[in-house]
C-alpha cells in the first residue's frame, strides 16, 4: 500500500503527560518528554519545513478497548482518583510499588494511547515517520499492569495499523523484554515481533528467552534476543544486524512500530548492559535506511541525560537532520533547569569491553545467531 509523503517526520507532543507524577521516588518520570522536546527545540530540530509538531491534548477512551478488557479498564478508571487501592486492583497489578496509583492515572493512559495513535495516523496519512516519546508501554497485558505500564499503546498501534491494512513488524530495543506485545501476537503470523533485551535471567520481566518463538501459525514470528549483562555496543550491533535486521528484511513490513527505550545505556540505574548511545542510534539508523516508515515510541530510560540525548538523536534521525551542531545548554544546565544535562554533544564517548569477558559475550552472541539461523530464519 502506498502512503503519499506529506512530510519527513512528525513529533507527537502531548505536553500534559509531563505533568503526571507516578510517585516521588518512582524511577519513571513523565517529565522526560518535556526535556526531550526542549532539547530538540534548542538543537533546531523542529525548524525544518519537512517536520511537524503535532500537539495532542485529549484522547478517546474507546481506543483502550481494542486490546484491554472492559473490567480492567474499569479498574484503571477507579484508580484515577489516586487514592483508594483495593484488592481487585492489586490482583491486576495496579497500586503496587512498581505500578502505583496516582491522581490522573486513567487520564495518563488515555492520553498516551491517543498520542501513539496520532503517530499511527501521521504515518498512514502521508508522513514518513512519527515519534511519540511518551509511549512504548510494552509490559502491559490485556488485563494486567506491569513494569510501570498500565496500557499497552504499542499493541494498540499495531492493531490499528493491521486494521488499516498495513503489514507490521514490531521492533523493541528497550533493555527489558517486550512481554506484553509478545503475548498479544504470540500465535499471529501477520505481525513479526522482535525484542532484543537484557536476559530474563538477570532482569525484569524474567522471560523473553530465545526459545519463545511463537505458537501455532505464529511459530517463527516471535523473536527474542536475550543479551548477557555487560553487553556492549559491538556485541549488540552484531546481534542487531544478524537477527533483527535479517528477520525484518525477510518479513518485509510496510511499517515498523519501534519501541526505542534508552535503558540499554551503561548509565541506566535499573539495567546491567554496557552500551552507549552510539550502538543505540546506529541500529536505528541502519533500520531506518531500509525501512523508512516507522512509528517510533519511547519506552524505558531512567537516566535523564541518556533519555534526552538518545531520543533527541532518534528524532534527528527520523527527521533527517543533523543533531551535531547547535547549543546544548552548557552554561551549568541552567536552560534545562537540570544540571545533569549539560554539554553540546549528544553522543556518548565510545566505549568497548575487551579481554576474556568480551570473548564470552561474543560466544553467547554467536550461539543466539546460530539458534536463530537453525530454528527460526526459515519459518519467516
Ligand atoms: Zn526498559
pLDDT digits (tens, 9 = 90+) for 352-376: 999 999 999 999 999 999 999 999 9
pLDDT, mean over the chain: 93
183-192, 248-257, 338-347: segment of lowest average pLDDT:
338-347
Please tell me whether residue 233 adopts helix, strand or coil conformation. helix
Percent of residues, the chain, with pLDDT higher than 70: 94
The cell numbers describing 183, all together, are: 503475548
- Confidence band of 328 (pLDDT split at 50, 70, 90): very low
Quote the pLDDT of residue 24.
Answer: 82
Between the CA of 301 and the centroid of ligand 1 the distance, in Å, is: 6
Please name the helix (run of DSSP H) or strand (run of DSSP E) that holds residue 362, with its range, or none: helix 355-371
Between the CA of 211 and the centroid of ligand 1 the distance, in Å, is: 21
- Confidence band of 324 (pLDDT split at 50, 70, 90): confident
Quote the pLDDT of residue 28.
Answer: 86
CA 92 – CA 95 distance, rounded (Å): 9
Between the CA of 203 and the centroid of ligand 1 the distance, in Å, is: 10
CA 378 – CA 380 distance, rounded (Å): 5
List Cβ neighbours of 333 (8 Å cut-off, separation of 6 or more). 339, 340, 341, 342
Please tell me whether residue 5 adopts helix, strand or coil conformation. coil
Quote the pLDDT of residue 151.
Answer: 98
In this prediction the pTM is 0.94
Q: Which domains does the chain possess?
A: 7-59+111-379 (3.40.800.20)
Residue 222 Cα to chain centre, angstroms: 17
The cell numbers describing 86, all together, are: 483495593
Percent of residues, the chain, with pLDDT higher than 90: 86
DSSP summary character for residue 349: P
Quote the pLDDT of residue 175.
Answer: 98
* Residue 329 scores a pLDDT above 50: no
Between the CA of 270 and the centroid of ligand 1 the distance, in Å, is: 8
List Cβ neighbours of 33 (8 Å cut-off, separation of 6 or more). 13, 14, 15, 17, 18, 133, 134, 298
The cell numbers describing 39, all together, are: 532539547
Quote the pLDDT of residue 2.
Answer: 52
How many other C-beta atoms can be found within 10 angstroms of the C-beta atom of residue 52? 18
Is the CA virtual torsion 244, 245, 247, 248 positive or negative? positive
Determine contact, residues 323/48, Cβ cutoff 8 Å.
no
For residues 134-156, average pLDDT? 97
- Confidence band of 308 (pLDDT split at 50, 70, 90): very high
Between the CA of 273 and the centroid of ligand 1 the distance, in Å, is: 11
Q: pLDDT tens digit string along 45-70?
A: 999 999 999 999 999 999 999 999 99
Which of 92, 138, 139, 176 is catalytic? The answer is 139
List Cβ neighbours of 263 (8 Å cut-off, separation of 6 or more). 174, 175, 176, 270, 271, 299, 300, 301, 302, 306
* Residue 127 scores a pLDDT above 80: yes
CA distances from 104 to 56, 97, 111, 302 (A): 16, 17, 10, 22
Quote the pLDDT of residue 84.
Answer: 85
Distance separating the N- and C-terminal Cα atoms of the chain: 21
- Confidence band of 43 (pLDDT split at 50, 70, 90): very high
Query: Residue 139 catalytic?
Result: yes
Amino acid at each position: 500500500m502506498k502512503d503519499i509523503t506529506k512530510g519527513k517526520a512528525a513529533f507527537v507532543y502531548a505536553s500534559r503527560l509531563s505533568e503526571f507524577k507516578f510517585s516521588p521516588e518512582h524511577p519513571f518520570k513523565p517529565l522526560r518528554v518535556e526535556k526531550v522536546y526542549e532539547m530538540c527545540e534548542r538543537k533546531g530540530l523542529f525548524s525544518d519545513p519537512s517536520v511537524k509538531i503535532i500537539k495532542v491534548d485529549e484522547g478517546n477512551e474507546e481506543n483502550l478497548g481494542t486490546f484491554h478488557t472492559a473490567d480492567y479498564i474499569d479498574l484503571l478508571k477507579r484508580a484515577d482518583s489516586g487514592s483508594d487501592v483495593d484488592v481487585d486492583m492489586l490482583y491486576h497489578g495496579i497500586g503496587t510499588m512498581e505500578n502505583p496509583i496516582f491522581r490522573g492515572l486513567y487520564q495518563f493512559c488515555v492520553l498516551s494511547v491517543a498520542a501513539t495513535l496520532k503517530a499511527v495516523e501521521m504515518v498512514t496519512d502521508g508522513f514518513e515517520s512519527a515519534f511519540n516519546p511518551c509511549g512504548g508501554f510494552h509490559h502491559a497485558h490485556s488485563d494486567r499492569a506491569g513494569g510501570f505500564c498500565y496500557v499497552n499503546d504499542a499493541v494498540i498501534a499495531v492493531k490499528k495499523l493491521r486494521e488499516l491494512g498495513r503489514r507490521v513488524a514490531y521492533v523493541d530495543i528497550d533493555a527489558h523484554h517486550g512481554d506484553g506485545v509478545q503475548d498479544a501476537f504470540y500465535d499471529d503470523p501477520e505481525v513479526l515481533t522482535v525484542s532484543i533485551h537484557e536476559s530474563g535471567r538477570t532482569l525484569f520481566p524474567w522471560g523473553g528467552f530465545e526459545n519463545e518463538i511463537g505458537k501455532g501459525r505464529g511459530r517463527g514470528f516471535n523473536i527474542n534476543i536475550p543479551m548477557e549483562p555487560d553487553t556492549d555496543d559491538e556485541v549488540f550491533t552484531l546481534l542487531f544486524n544478524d537477527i533483527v535486521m535479517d528477520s525484518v528484511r525477510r518479513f518485509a513490513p510496510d511499517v515498523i512500530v519501534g519501541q526505542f527505550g534508552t535503558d540499554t545505556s551503561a548509565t541506566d540505574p535499573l539495567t546491567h548492559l554496557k552500551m552507549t548511545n552510539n550502538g543505540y542510534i546506529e541500529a536505528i539508523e541502519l533500520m531506518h535506511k531500509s525501512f523508512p516508515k516507522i512509528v517510533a515510541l519511547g519506552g524505558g530510560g531512567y537516566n535523564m541525560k541518556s533519555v534526552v540525548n538518545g531520543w533527541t538523536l532518534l528524532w534527528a534521525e527520523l527527521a533527517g537532520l543533523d543533531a551535531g551542531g547547535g547549543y546544548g545548554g552548557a552554561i551549568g544546565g541552567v536552560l534545562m533547569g537540570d544540571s545533569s544535562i549539560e554539554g553540546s554533544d549528544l553522543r556518548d564517548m565510545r566505549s568497548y569491553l575487551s579481554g576474556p569477558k568480551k570473548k564470552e559475550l561474543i560466544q553467547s552472541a554467536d550461539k543466539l545467531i546460530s539458534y536463530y539461523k537453525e530454528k527460526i530464519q526459515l519459518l519467516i
